[in-house]
Every structure is written in C-alpha cells, then in structure tokens.
Structure 1
Amino acid sequence: MSRRRYHDSDDEYDHRQAKRFRRSNNEPKQIEDRLESLIFRVGEKSSSSLETNLEKLAGVLQADIPNYKQKILDTLYNSVTLLPFKVSIYSTLIGLLNAKNYKSGEEFVNMAVANLEQDLMKGQFEPALIKVRLLADMVNAHVISSTPIMIMFSSFVGVTKEPDIPQARSDWFVYAVLSALPWVGRQLFKEKGEDLANLMSSIDSYIKRRKKPYLSSLYTWKEKIYPPQEDYLDCLWQQIKDLKSNGWKERYLHRPYRAFDDILVNAFDHTFPIVTIPHHDDDVIYPLPKVTFRLIKQEAESETVHCVERYIMEESIRTIMKSMYKNRKECASRLLSLPSRSRLSLYDTIIETIFSDLFTLPKSVFPELFTSSLLIELCKSEPTVVPKVLAEATGILYDRVDIMNVTCVHRFASWFSYHLSNFQYKWSWNDWEDCLNQESSPKRRFVSEVLEKCVRLAYFDRIVEIITEPLVQLLPPEPSPKCKFERSDAESTDPAVNLAQQLFTAFKAKKSPEEVIEVLESAKTSLFADDEDEYAKTAAEVLVQCVLSIGQKSISHATSGITKFKTVFKAIIKGGDEQIICLNSMFSVWERNIQILELLLDKMLRLEIIEPSSVINWLLSRDMLGSFQRFFVWNIVHHCLRKCSKRLRIAKRQLQDVKEKFSACSNSEDTTDEERSKLSNAVDNLSDEVYNAYQKQKEVFLILFQRFIIILNDHLYRREQDQSSPWLSFALEKLKEVMHMYYEEVFSYKETLEQLLFTSETDSRILRVFTDFCSLRD
C-alpha cells in the first residue's frame, strides 16, 4: 500500500487540511466536528481512490484516538446506522484502526453488540438488522473472529425451536441470518464449513415447515404470473442456496478490505459473548411477512430470479432510500451511481424496487409523496433512460390492472396522476381507450380515477384538452356546487324554504352565531309547530345548505363559514341522525367537487361538529352504495381511522409525559404538596382522556366492520349465484385493506371482534379475510 504524501487539492476529503486544522485551531469542539465530517463523508465522490482515502483517514483517526477516542467510536457507529449502504467501507475503516489500536477495535465491537441487544430488547428490528450485518462484515476485515458470529447465527436460528411463539418471531431471526450471509458466507465457509453446513440444514428444516396462510392477502396480483409471487423468506432462501452453489461467491459487493489484506491479516481479531435474545413478549410487534414483486422482464430472467445479486442490489437500493428519504435529489444521485456488476439492469432494478415498496401490503414502505418525487427526480437526472424504463413499467402495470389488488390500484392511480402533473400530463392516452370496451371494469374505473385526480391537480378544461376525445366521457362532471336553497324574496309554503330564507337574511345582516340560534329556535315554533323530530331533521339540512351556499365562492369562504357558525352547528347537530343528515346535505352540495367535500369533512371533524363514527356509518350506508367503489370513499374512511389513532397516540404521549413528571416530583424533596396534587389530578384527567379516546377508536372500528358485514351479506343474499362478482371481490379486498393497514389497532380488539362480529355464523368468505389476517401474527 502506497505511503506517498497526498497532494491532490481537488479531493473533497483532504486529510492534509485536517492536520493543518488541528495545528491552527486547538478548540476540541471544532476538531470533533471536523473528524465527524471526515468519517461521514468517506466513500463519497472523490478524485482519489476509496482505498487511498480510507488509508489516510485511518491515519488521521489513529493520531486523534488518544484525545478523541469516544467521539471517533460514536461517530463510526452512528455512520453505520445512518448510512448502512456503506457498511463495507466502515468495516474496512474499523479494521484499519483495529490493526493499529487493538483496544479501540475491542471497544467498538462491544458497543455494537450492546446496541444490538438493546435493539432486540426494545423491538427495534430494522436497526438490529444493520448491526447484525455490520458484525458479520467485520469478520472479513479481521476485526471479529468467525467463531462468535457462528455462535450468534446458531442462537438466532435456535429461536425457531422455542415453543408457543408466533411465526413472525422466528421468521425475523432466520431472516437476520440469511440477510447477512452474502457478506460473510464465504469467510464462514472457509473457516467454519461444517458449522455453516449444520446451520443451513437447520434453516432448511424450518423453511419447509413454515405455514403461510396469509400469502394470498399480500399478493399484488390476484392471478398467477411469471416470475411468480413468493414469500420473502422463501425467495431469500433460494437466493442463498444459489450463493452456496456458487461456492459462496457473489459478483456485486465492493469489498475495500481486500486491498488491505496484508495489513488486516496480521491484526488481532476479537470475540464477544453470546448475544442475549429476549424472551417472547406478546406486546412486541414483529415485522409482517412480505411477498416478492417482479415487474420488468430482464435478460436471462430464469437465471436471475433467484440469483443472490438480485437480493444484494435490491437491498442496496432500499438502504439508500431509507437513509436518504428526506432528500430526494441526494437519494436519486446515489441510486444512479450504484454499480452494475451483475446480469441485472441497474435502471430496471431501481424502478422495480421502487414500485415493489410502493405496492407492499399492507402499507407502503415509504410515504407515497417521497416515492413520487423520487421517480420524478430520477427521470430528470437520467432523461434518456429512466423515462423509457418507467413508461414500460407503467404500461405493464396498466395491462395488469384487472388482476391487481384494489389497494395497489388506488396507489397506482395516486402516483401516476401526480407524476403526470409534473410532466404536463403528456401520455399516450390513446393506448388506454381499450378500457371503454367494458362497463365497470377495473381498467375503466382506474382511468376514471386517474382523470379525476388530474382534474384536481390542474383544472377541468386543461385535462379535456390533453386527453383523447373518447376518454372525455370518463371525466367527472365539471366541478361546481349544487345548492338546494337559493336566496329569494318569493313566499313559499315549504317550511324548509322559509327557514332557509330566514337564515340567508340573518347571514346578510351579519348576525352573530347567538342571534342565528335565536332565529332557528323561533322557527321551531312558527314553522314546525314544536315538532322536535321534523325540526331537527330540517334544521340540520337547511343550516348546512345555507352555510355552504354563502361560502361556495372558494374553500376558504366555506371553511370560514363553518368556523364562524361552529356553535350553531353544535346546537342543531346533536346526535348521530342529525350528523348523517348533515353529511348527506354536504354531499349533495359538493358531489361534483370531491376535493372540496373532503376538505370540508376534515374541517367538521376537527371542530368536532361530526364524529368519525357517523362518517363511517354514512359512507357505508345503503344511500352511498352507488359510490362504494369510488376511491374518495376510502380516502375519507382512512382519514377518519387515522384521526382516531392519532388522537389516542397524542393522549397516551401526554399521559406518559405527565406520569414521568409526577414520578420525578414524588422523589424530589423540593416539590410542594400543591404541585404533587396538580400533577396527580393531571394524571387522572389524562387517564380518562386516554380511556375515552380508546373507546371512541374501538367504536369506530366496530362500526366499520359491522357495516362491512351488513353490506356484504346484503349483496350475497341478493346475488347468491354470483359468487365471484367484481363488486364482491372489491369489497372483500377493502375489508382486507382496512384490517392490514391498521393491524396493531385491530389486533387489540381481536377478542371482541371474534365474539361479536366474526363468529362461526359469519359467511365463510368474510370469515376467511379475518382468519388470514390473524395468521399474520400467529
């Protein structure tokens, strides 16, 4: 290894500058910041080779270890955690430090093992995987001997023999071992060949006895395709077997430690005690199983389906996305700079992996906005290649819409409409005219939803100009309100019309909410002869219609009106029946502009004029069956469910904070009895708030599943012979979607659901969705 002085002034990682810095400025904080920057940035684009930079950085760190050892070790550890796609770079750097300073290497190993145990104890499985991979890769850098890694792997696989544990627990520990083998398998094969063979045999035995009743509920495609959709662990097992058949040699990973073999081989490697695996706890939520996603046909497809290079490439793409999801430009740049040293196309694999994460069930891996913005950035960064690959992938997805999971169709429509809005809505629209040949087909519904979302993102006339003439019939009506009552001086015998005129007059006179309530109370006697039921129904409808009528100019006018007359709404809309009337009235006004309808619903929910339970009852009522398959219904359903979950989370967090303060005050002699009493009361009040939020959330989920069962039973009763209708398939998939997307909440009500709703008397097709869901954690 060359020891020449470094003179390249263009290098971003100028270690001479770091030395000058230390000579010219002795402030520890500035030196620590500089060291941190050097460590984090190693491996970035540079005019010098990675090996040269690693050697020089190791020299700089070695010189500073006496004074800044803890800072250096902490930064190295944090770098691996935050930038796991550089794991081999940091393994090499740690190896070089270990070769010169055995004690530092030992401390780093102990830190990594301790943090791994802590992650397992807390149920933080994603960070734990990074630590397992780091420990495994440090075997290649001669920091750790192969013996403790082999013992750790064997103890992980030993979890599969624990009695009465969910399969998800044993799956994760087996996955942790398999996911590390591409990095360390070759070294273990050389040094621990017999132990590795026994480990592989144990894993094979476990893979064969696994049960997978949940698989069909996680499929993106409802029919068999090639390459087939596989359970994630089965697929990885086949890829590791492919690695084994090739002598544990892969052709993708860059291993910089190989350039330093003459240095590292003479270093003393470390051992560590057996990693403590916590006992199973029912409160721990293990990662849910997944299925593989294949879309773009690549060359030699039959050879690459189970090649280990595919797994390594996909894992590299995902680790970059997880690390850089807050910076789409940096993320796109790093993805496009990945090496393409395998039989797989880099661009095809990037697009396929991004779509795989977007269509992962039950939840997308990343927020849809990040996925959309990343694809846009990739297209802009490589305009000659990526748009073509993305267009090909989009075409394949459209061709498969008929067999695509309904949840994935929804995500596809959301992504594609947003993507088009950033590229002037240019698309080969004539290719989609085939959707017009079938009424109520999934393709027709998909194109209709895409066009509706495009209208939201642009405006009606713009989309009419862009699309082909045959597709115009799929556009929603031109957005405009449809108010039942208008201002008029004409007399009427209809009490509702008269009440509306009185309200319009009060609004025009700018009367206060209290005065408007007086107008309504007066009308109860003069117009409805104190008929409470008739007055309550009419007043709720007329009030909503009138407020939305005066606020129809813009969304800000409408929301201001609702906010101003909040007390009036609460005085009139008191129970569930009035809330349903309110919702029907809002829908009749803004049926042609769903975007405004959703915003107004959100406003009323935040002001607590209506309850999420009433919204669910309304959306899944017989009156709304005509819109059951429209995506906006499910957007609102999910919005209500998220709002309930958020309210409970906030209440729990507040309660936890107050409990911690109360505990600290109880142990402090400086706290007065009055302060303790206030905190004690706060704990009691927040405990009640948590209980109430939990009960409301439970009520919403119970109503939702009850309405689902009623609607499905009605359909099955009316169409008993039509066992595989598109409507039935859609409804069952939506039931499945709700269960899976909120699996933590639904599992907490599992016993109640089994006793009240999903009983032995429930239709087998509905019950199958629930039992498959329960198997995710069995």
Structure 2
Amino acid sequence: MVFFMRMFMNSKRQKRHAPALRVWQAEAPHAQEEGLDCLWAQVSKLRSEKWVERHLVRPYLAFDGVLCEALQHNLPSLPPPPHQPHYIYPFPMVVFRLFDYTDCPEGPVLPGSHSIERFLGEEQLRHILERNYADRKVCAAQLLSFQGKLKVPLEYMIVEVIFGELLRLPTSRQLEICYGSLLLELCKLQPSSLPQVLAQAVELLYEQLDTMNTDCLDRLSYHQRVVELVPASFAPFLPAKPVPDYRFEKEGADGLPGAPVAARLSSCIRNKCTPEEALEVLAELPNPLQEDEGMEPAHNPLKIQVFVETLLYIASKSFSHSFAGIAKFHYVFKTLASTEEAQICVLRSTYDLWHNHQQMMIGLVDKYLKTQIVECSAVANWVFSKDLAPDFMRPYVWEILHLTIRKMIKHVRKLELELEDAKNKLSKEGSRSEDVRMGDSGDKDHPTEEMVERMEEKLEATQSDLKNLFLIIFQRFIMTLTEHIGQCEVEGTNFQTYWFRWTLGRLQEVFFQHHEHVFKYVTTLESLLFTSDIDPHVLEVFQQFAALRA
C-alpha cells in the first residue's frame, strides 16, 4: 500500500487549489503545506522511524494473552464504491500552522510539523470539537482532559486547532461565535496558562494581517471592543458616530432642490398621512431627467431622494420604527421604484442618509429585499457603483452582497421544496379513486397538473435569476479589477496594491461562501466571463476555485 501511495504522491498531482486555501499568502514564519503533502511527509517520517509511535492509547495490550490464543480471521478486501456524478467529495485542505517548538518556552516539546504525533493530536482534538461543539462547557472540559496532555504542550495545540477551524477555508465548520465562546470557556477553566497562550496566538495573527486571506480577516472583526481599547490619540481613525445624515436639516439646506417639498412631506408623515397623500405631495417635484418635449422618464430621482431620506429620517429612532415606516409606505416605494434604475436610487438615498450606520444599512437593505422593494440584481449593481466607492473596502458592503445572494438562494430552495411537495401529493393522488382524482373530494389544497407546471415554470425563472445574479456579480468584479489595472498602467504605478489584493480576496470569498451553487455554473462562467483574455491574476482565482472539484 505504501508503494502505491508513493507512486500517487510522486505523480504530477494537480495542486492549483492550494494557494486559494491558504490563510496567509506569505510562507513565513510557517510553511502552509497542502494537506496530502504534509500527511505523506508525516507517514514517511514514521516509516523511517520503523513505525514506532508512542502517542496512541492501546487498551488491547491488557488482553494480549487472550488475543494471542484467539482464532485469527482474514479480513476481506474493501473496494471503494465507484464514482457517481452526484457524489460530493470533501474539499482539499491546507494545513494551518501557528506555533512551532520555539514558541513553547517550557514543558513538553511541541511535535514537529512532519511528526505523526502532531497529526494524531490535532485529529483527536478536532474529533472532540466535532462531537461537543454544541455545548461549550462540555467541549472545553473534554479538550483539557485530553488523554495525551502530559506528552504535548496541550494549551498550544488546542489554541492552534481552534484557530485553524475558525479560519478554515472555504468556510468554517461552525459559526465564528462558537469558537470565540469556546476560547472564553477554556480561559475560565485554565486561567493560569491558557490566556497567555491565547494572547501569544493573537499577537502572531495580527503580525501577519497584511497577508491574511480577506475572508479570514472578516472572521476576526470585533469593532466595539477595539473602540473601547484603543487610546484617545487613535480617535481620528475611528468611524463616525452612527447617526443619520439628513441633508434637508443642514445649514443652507433651504436652497437644495426639493427642500420645501421635503418639509411639507415631513409634516404630513408626522401627522399620519396615507401613502396616497404622500404621493400627492411628491407630485409637486419636477423630474431632473425630463428633457424639453421628451418622453417621460421611467423614474424621478428627486422624488425618490426626498421621500426615502425624509421617511427614514423621521423613523430613525430604531430598527422597528424604520421597518414600520417601510411597511406603511410600501405602496409609495413600489410606485416610485418600478425599474432597476429607480431601485438603485432608493439604495443610494438610503446610503446618503445612513452611511455612518453600517448595521442600519444592512438591516434596511435586507428589509427592502424581503418586501420586494428592490431586486437582488439592483443591489449587486449598486454595490459596484461609483456611489459606493468610498465604502467599497468596508466589510458591511460585502455582508450586504452575501445576504442578497443568500436571499435568492433561499427563495430558489423554497420553490424547489414546494414543487417537490406538490409532485409527491400529485403522485399519491394517482392511486386514489377516480372521483377524488377529478377533484370531487372538495380538497382545495390538492395540486393539479396545471399547478405543478406553473410551479416548474416559476422555479425555472427563479433559477435563471440566480444564475444571472452570479453573472452580474462576477462580471462587475472583472470590470472593476480590469479598470484598476488599466488606470495604474496609464499612471505608471504598480497595480498590486492593498485595494487590488482586497478586491481579489472578496472575489474569492464569493466563490467560497456560495460554492455549492457557483459550481453549477462553472462551465458557463468559464466560457462567458473567465476567459483567457482577462488579467491572469483574476483568472487564477477562478481556476483555483474550479480546481477544488477537479
């Protein structure tokens, strides 16, 4: 068996995926090896040491006399099942390393990266995590009771394994808060040593932030605690206070277009006017897109700006007030935002008011999507628009993009389940009596073939919308990155800036977070967008992703 393993490992194995799965782009201070390469090195070292291993517990030694006299059996061969197109295999991995033996000042020596003891210890700790992640107290106690704790620096291995799971790519197995709460519980149970190891790990992580994968960087964000910790001299670097920025109450706002109408609309809304009355007030506003004797534009950006900013400012006391305002004036939103351009205007006006309150922006966009005030494609195009360029690198923008994608995926899944349920009911009906099949039973919930056909058409349309959403997002990524490269070439500067690396990381993040659905369109993406004529750096991100299931 070892011979065949050596042949496989020495073959020209495809490892294009490895750079995409690295937590850090740099190789220092610890090499980030591809998972099989590292495991093969550990097995080879064990073989060179004549297969001597002292880490595993061997309870069977207590029954050695009985086992020696027992009847021996020949184990049958276990052929692997043949490949099927619908099989989904585990993703490859890159081994996460945070510590080596020099980081452990006293006590047992940390096994080397190519030591089989390192592999066995990490796998056993991961097994404890997988079995007990739902109860942090039990999980922490089990980790600290690890059977081999006297042979290895247990605190270092536990912290390394937890951070490895937290930063695992393409996605972590559990929610980020699971690992954070577990680390806190471990510090409570082992206050004499574990907090110091955790502080050492955090210092090592922050020393390498400049080369960290963008998706991993987001998982370490903790804004409020950082604000409380930094000294007063850092105040200029902190974000502005999360308050609304209402243009019609600023000094000199009287001269702004729509200011008088905004004042009247504000008075009407405070006096509990109806949506129709609000539209009557807005009807006084001219359309800045209207040309002399030209066709009536499909939307009026001034109406949208005045209405959205005024309503949301009045309802700015809380999320509940804002959501109630949107619900009450939903008809006005739908009337004003009937096209994608108008929906982008709604998003732009919302951003103009709440650009200092990221959480409110996320909540409002989510509400717009739920109430179908804006479409997913409008949000995607707005994220990449020039209006949002000042905040393009901020995490909340990408949280909005991901929640938009998830919203569409959830809708597709809902329609799939409804269609599957309807088909099951229809097939069961086929075994019933003729009068029931003809609908004489009075069961109004029973689906007909025509209803199932309509549901299939609706599902196909929604699946097409999801595909188009991914195409829009990836096309805008390519356009944005290509434009940056072209501008840098004109200016004679290096295009590989932090902005470029960050945006590439966000592209990879979209691939990773929605890999189950993006893989369905790999062939389409390869033929339409990620072709050989785009920049190699952008193409490499797609090729690394595609190689995960190659």
Q: Same fold (TM over 0.5)?
A: yes
Q: Deviations over 1:233-282 (max 9, x none)?
A: 11111222233333333222223233233444555566676546333233
User: For structure 1, which segment, 512-521 or 400-409, has the greater mean C-alpha deviation from structure 2 after superposition?
Assistant: 512-521
Give the letter for the 2:540 counterpart: R
Q: Deviations over 1:306-365 (max 9, x none)?
A: 111111111111111111121111111111110235753111001001111111111112
User: For structure 1, which segment, 675-684 or 642-651, has the greater mean C-alpha deviation from structure 2 after superposition?
Assistant: 675-684
Q: Which structure 2 residues correspond to residues 173-184 of structure 1 after superposition, within 5 A?
A: none
Alignment check: 8 A CA contact 2:299 2:336 kept: no
Matched, 1:468 2:234: no
Give the letter for the 1:203 counterpart: M
Q: Which structure 2 residues correspond to residues 288-687 of structure 1 after superposition, within 5 A?
A: 288-298=91-101, 304-340=112-148, 343-413=151-221, 417=222, 452-454=223-225, 463=227, 466-486=229-249, 496-521=258-283, 532-533=296-297, 536-669=300-433, 671-674=436-439, 678-687=447-456
2:486 corresponds to? 717
1:703 corresponds to? 472
> TM-score, normalization: structure 2?
0.89
Alignment check: 8 A CA contact 2:55 2:117 kept: yes
Q: Deviations over 1:410-435 (max 9, x none)?
A: 2122xxx2xxxxxxxxxxxxxxxxxx
Residue 601 (structure 1) shift = 1.2
Alignment check: 8 A CA contact 1:252 1:341 kept: no
Cα distance between partner residues in 1 of 2:145 and 2:80: 38
Q: Deviations over 1:141-161 (max 9, x none)?
A: xxxxxxxxxxxxxxxxxxxxx
Alignment check: 8 A CA contact 1:298 1:344 kept: no
Give the letter for the 1:205 counterpart: M
Cα distance between partner residues in 1 of 2:516 and 2:297: 41
Going from structure 1 to structure 2, the CA distance change for 1:269 and 1:501 (only over 3 Å counts) comes to farther
Cα distance between partner residues in 1 of 2:182 and 2:448: 47
Matched, 1:767 2:529: no
Residue 371 (structure 1) shift = 1.1
1:284 corresponds to? 87
Residue 718 (structure 1) shift = 0.8
Give the letter for the 1:752 counterpart: T
Alignment check: 8 A CA contact 1:486 1:549 kept: no
1:735 corresponds to? 507
Going from structure 1 to structure 2, the CA distance change for 1:491 and 1:213 (only over 3 Å counts) comes to closer
Cα distance between partner residues in 1 of 2:31 and 2:53: 24
Q: Which structure 2 residues correspond to residues 17-32 of structure 1 after superposition, within 5 A?
A: none
Going from structure 1 to structure 2, the CA distance change for 1:651 and 1:308 (only over 3 Å counts) comes to same
Cα distance between partner residues in 1 of 2:191 and 2:514: 39
Going from structure 1 to structure 2, the CA distance change for 1:283 and 1:535 (only over 3 Å counts) comes to closer
Give the letter for the 2:541 counterpart: V
Cα distance between partner residues in 1 of 2:60 and 2:276: 77
Cα distance between partner residues in 1 of 2:267 and 2:296: 23
Secondary structure in 2 matching 1:747? helix
Matched residue count? 533
Cα distance between partner residues in 2 of 1:593 and 1:714: 29
Q: Which structure 2 residues correspond to residues 99-118 of structure 1 after superposition, within 5 A?
A: none
Q: Deviations over 1:30-79 (max 9, x none)?
A: xxxxxxxxxxxxxxxxxxxxxxxxxxxxxxxxxxxxxxxxxxxxxxxxxx
Cα distance between partner residues in 2 of 1:371 and 1:306: 26
Aligned-pair identity in percent equals 35
Cα distance between partner residues in 2 of 1:261 and 1:668: 64
1:744 corresponds to? 516
Cα distance between partner residues in 2 of 1:576 and 1:686: 25
Alignment check: 8 A CA contact 2:383 2:397 kept: yes
Alignment check: 8 A CA contact 2:426 2:446 kept: no
Q: Deviations over 1:524-545 (max 9, x none)?
A: 79xx999843962111111110
Cα distance between partner residues in 2 of 1:491 and 1:771: 52
What stretches of structure 1 of length at least 5 have no aligned partner?
1-198, 418-451, 456-462
Give the letter for the 2:437 counterpart: T
Cα distance between partner residues in 1 of 2:75 and 2:272: 77
Give the letter for the 2:360 counterpart: I
Give the letter for the 1:565 counterpart: F
Residue 297 (structure 1) shift = 2.7
Root mean square deviation of aligned Cα: 2.8
1:224 corresponds to? 27
Cα distance between partner residues in 1 of 2:298 and 2:413: 40
Alignment check: 8 A CA contact 1:524 1:535 kept: no
Going from structure 1 to structure 2, the CA distance change for 1:543 and 1:270 (only over 3 Å counts) comes to farther
Cα distance between partner residues in 2 of 1:263 and 1:658: 60
Cα distance between partner residues in 2 of 1:324 and 1:673: 53
Going from structure 1 to structure 2, the CA distance change for 1:620 and 1:746 (only over 3 Å counts) comes to same
Higher relative CO (Cα under 8 Å, sequence separation at least 6) belongs to 2
Cα distance between partner residues in 2 of 1:582 and 1:350: 48
User: For structure 1, which segment, 733-742 or 536-545, has the greater mean C-alpha deviation from structure 2 after superposition?
Assistant: 733-742
> TM-score, normalization: structure 1?
0.64
2:15 corresponds to? 212
1:753 corresponds to? 525
Residue 521 (structure 1) shift = 4.6
**Equivalent residue for 2:37, pick from 208, 211, 234:** 234
Residue 669 (structure 1) shift = 4.4
Q: Which structure 2 residues correspond to residues 137-286 of structure 1 after superposition, within 5 A?
A: 199-209=1-11, 210-268=13-71, 274-275=77-78, 277-286=80-89
Secondary structure in 1 matching 2:342? helix
Going from structure 1 to structure 2, the CA distance change for 1:747 and 1:666 (only over 3 Å counts) comes to same
Cα distance between partner residues in 2 of 1:613 and 1:475: 32
What stretches of structure 2 of length at least 5 have no aligned partner?
none
Residue 230 (structure 1) shift = 0.4
Going from structure 1 to structure 2, the CA distance change for 1:404 and 1:494 (only over 3 Å counts) comes to closer
Give the letter for the 1:715 counterpart: H
Alignment check: 8 A CA contact 2:45 2:115 kept: yes
User: For structure 1, which segment, 387-396 or 688-697, has the greater mean C-alpha deviation from structure 2 after superposition?
Assistant: 688-697
Give the letter for the 2:352 counterpart: S
Residue 733 (structure 1) shift = 1.9
Alignment check: 8 A CA contact 2:99 2:156 kept: yes
Cα distance between partner residues in 2 of 1:693 and 1:568: 26
Secondary structure in 1 matching 2:509? helix
Alignment check: 8 A CA contact 1:544 1:582 kept: yes
Cα distance between partner residues in 2 of 1:749 and 1:776: 14
Cα distance between partner residues in 2 of 1:683 and 1:346: 58
Residue 557 (structure 1) shift = 1.1
Going from structure 1 to structure 2, the CA distance change for 1:244 and 1:667 (only over 3 Å counts) comes to farther
